[in-house]
Amino acid sequence: MSGMTGHEADVVVVGAGLSGLIAARTLLGAGLTPLILEADTRVGGRILTEDLGGLPMELGAQWIGDTHHRMFALAAELGVETYPQFDDGETTYELAGTGVLRGNEFHDRFAGELAELEKVLRRLDGLATEVDPATPWTAPHAAEWDAITAGAWYDAQGLSPVARTLLEICTVGILAVPTVEVSFLHLLFTIQTCGVTSELFAESEGGAQTTRFVGGTAEIPKRLAAMLTEHLVLDAPVQLIEHGSDSVTVHCRGGRTARGRRIIVAVSPMLAGRIMYDPPLSGYRDQLTQRMPNSAAMKAFFVYDEPFWRADGLNGQLISDVGPARMSNDTCIRGDDRGVILLFLEGEQARTHGHWSEEERRAALTAELVRHFGERAAHPQLYVDGEWGSRQWTRGCYNANCGPLVWTTYGAALAEPIGPIHWASTDTATEWSAYMEGAVQAGERAAAEVIEALTK
């Protein structure tokens, strides 16, 4: 990686997550010189693959889905192979005090509740079509929908307890915050950036979680970074951005500086708000970044000598209102015989259990796995989990959410450039916001704005 003493570039990019890397690559392709300043000692941000006993464990982003066209194209271009997510067998359910039921039994017993859930999801799909993801605040019912939480709207649907609980689990699995914290307009925005609820919630055909990367997701940012070596500085946290009408001077920790004609800030809105700006940004923009907190999610992996649940006809997916995890997944690695189960702690579960010691967390999750998959689940070879709130350069995942009245009051400040400052990161995307696909789309959009400004 190059140093940065007295560095001059056409465009400075803050952050070497997927969005910043894509922005820089797009600028380079247009004949402009980018300089990426990355706070961490690695690239990838919310993409983090760690080795565990020779297996690539995805502590960050793991899947893409069939409509993530940019990500499929990127993987193909970078030579990263993909493979399908395992999805054969029954899910196990543990809801409403029933103990653990296999999928068929659960579906028989709660057919009416599942039909209620389906009806609400179709209703959500219909309402979401009224929301333009680029301007959610212009939706005909924006004021009404932004004044209530998604949880309040759910509560008003007259659902049975089982249907309401399933709806909460599905939604928290996407937003990683309790639905009482999120504006209903934000939920509809999220659905609309992805297409329909089945795209979000389904793991099988058409969902967001159908496909994985050979060698791990981190191969994508690593290979992008290798193409940008001369334009990337690691361990360079940006602390201050001085900006004029057509220039920026960027100050990093340690007194290092860089200059450019434009800057793309490719970090989540909350972290963008922790950078100082001179002159200061408007109160309108700052109030927005004060109101887009990152959510809370953790992943915990158990590795076994084999995927023993498959022999029982199970797909390794659990759904539970007992917890600690609300959901799990068969995360076996292609080409390896070992069995890997991934448990998700999201929203309140992540907040609570993130404070526990790893031993306590592991014990509670093991007990849950034993309830669902039997005694063999008590004997993993390996365990690892990942907490994101403590990571200084992420501070929570999967993404930023809006509570009530944020979109309609401050939404226009999210992606609108301010002088030479442009905004990227998946949190500013209008397609698949919160996902890698969104990070790419936002990086391309911010780069296009800069190219237009500098070459017109």
Q: Binding site for FAD, residues?
A: 19, 38-39, 238
Q: What are the helix (H) ranges across 374-435?
A: 406-410
For residues 331 and 339, what is the distance between their CA atoms, to the nearest angstrom?
8
Quick check: 238 binds ligand FAD (CB under 6 A)? Answer: yes
Q: Is the peptide bond before 324 cis (omega within 30 degrees of 0)?
A: yes
- DSSP H helical ranges for 291-390: 308-311, 348-353, 358-373
Q: Is 168 helix (H, G, I), strand (E, B) or coil?
A: helix
Q: How far is the C-alpha of 12 from the C-alpha of 450, rounded, in Å?
A: 11
CA distances from 174 to 225, 363, 383 (A): 28, 25, 24
Give least dist CB 163 to ligand FAD, A: 26
- CB-based contacts of 118: which residues, under 8 Å, 6+ apart? none
Closer residue to ligand FAD, CB minimum distance, 74 or 95: 74
Q: Is residue 18 a contact residue for ligand FAD (CB under 6 A)?
A: yes
Specify the residue, 27 or 162, whose C-beta has the smaller distance to ligand FAD.
27
Shortest spacing between CB 113 and ligand FAD, in angstroms: 28
Nearer to ligand FAD, 139 or 196 (CB): 196
Q: Residue 142 or 267: which CB sits closer to ligand FAD?
A: 267
* Residue among 50 and 416 whose Cβ is closer to ligand FAD: 50
Residue among 49, 91, 193, 394 that touches ligand FAD (CB under 6 A)? 394
Minimum distance between the CB of residue 130 and ligand FAD, rounded to whole angstroms? 25
Beta carbon of residue 393, minimum distance to ligand FAD (angstroms, whole number): 3
Going by C-beta distance under 8 Å and a sequence separation of 6 or more, which residues neighbour residue 320? 93, 94, 95, 326, 327, 368, 372
Q: Is residue 173 involved in binding ligand FAD (CB under 6 A)?
A: no
Binding ligand FAD (rule: CB under 6 A), the pick from 39, 124, 218, 224 is 39
The mark string for 198-237 relative to ligand FAD (x by CB under 6 A, - otherwise) is ---------------------------------------x
List C-alpha distances in Å: 75 to 70, 165, 211: 9, 37, 11
Amino acid identity of 232? L
By CB under 6 A, tell whether 439 contacts ligand FAD.
Answer: yes
**Minimum gap (Å) between residue 155 Cβ and ligand FAD:** 28
Q: Which stretch binds ligand FAD (CB under 6 A): 17-25, 99-107, 331-339, 448-456?
A: 17-25
User: Stretches 305-313, 317-325, 335-343, 391-399: which one binds ligand FAD (CB under 6 A)?
Assistant: 391-399
**Cβ closer to ligand FAD: 15 or 380?**
15
Nearer Cβ to ligand FAD, position 63 or 154? 63
345 counts as binding ligand FAD under rule CB under 6 A: no
User: Which residue has 């990263």 as its token pair?
Assistant: 80
Nearest distance, CB of residue 354 and ligand FAD, angstroms: 12
CB burial string 307-337: b at 16+ within 10 A, e below: bebbeeebbbbbbbbbbbbbbbbbbbbeeee
From the list 36-44, 119-127, 240-248, 345-353, the region that binds ligand FAD by CB under 6 A is 36-44
Both tokens of residue 36? Answer: 């990426």
| Side chain identity, residue 178 | P
299 part of the interface to ligand FAD, by CB under 6 A: yes
Query: Can you tell me the distance from the alpha carbon of 233 to that of 42, in angstroms, rounded to the nearest whole number?
Result: 10
Q: Which is nearer to ligand FAD, 120 or 250 (CB)?
A: 250
The one-letter code for the residue type at 1 is: M
Judged by CB under 6 A, the chain residues 57 through 76 that form the site for ligand FAD are: 60-64
Query: Does residue 301 contact residue 340 with C-beta atoms inside 8 Å?
Result: yes
Among left, alpha and beta (phi > 0; psi -120 to 50; other), residue 158 is left
Applying CB under 6 A, among 193, 426, 430, 441 the residue interacting with ligand FAD is 426
Is residue 291 near ligand FAD by the rule CB under 6 A? no
Nearer to ligand FAD, 40 or 90 (CB): 40
Distance CA 303, CA 147 (A): 45
Tell me the two tokens of residue 223.
Answer: 């290979």
| Residue closer to ligand FAD, measured from CB, 141 or 253 | 253
Given 4, 200, 224, 271, the residue binding ligand FAD (CB under 6 A): 271
- Which is nearest to 455 in space by CA: 261, 233, 244, 211? 261
Name the closest residue to ligand FAD (Cβ): 17
Tokens of 159: 């659902």
Q: Degrees (nearest 5) of the Cα angle 206, 121, 159?
A: 145
Stretch that binds ligand FAD, among 34-42, 306-314, 365-373, 402-410 (CB under 6 A): 34-42
In the complex, the smallest distance separating the C-beta of residue 72 from ligand FAD, rounded to whole angstroms, is 12
DSSP state of 282: P
Helical (H) or strand (E) element with 441: helix 436-455
Binding site for ligand FAD (CB under 6 A): 14-20, 37-40, 45-47, 60-64, 237-238, 266-268, 271, 275, 297, 299, 388, 393-394, 397-398, 425-426, 434-439
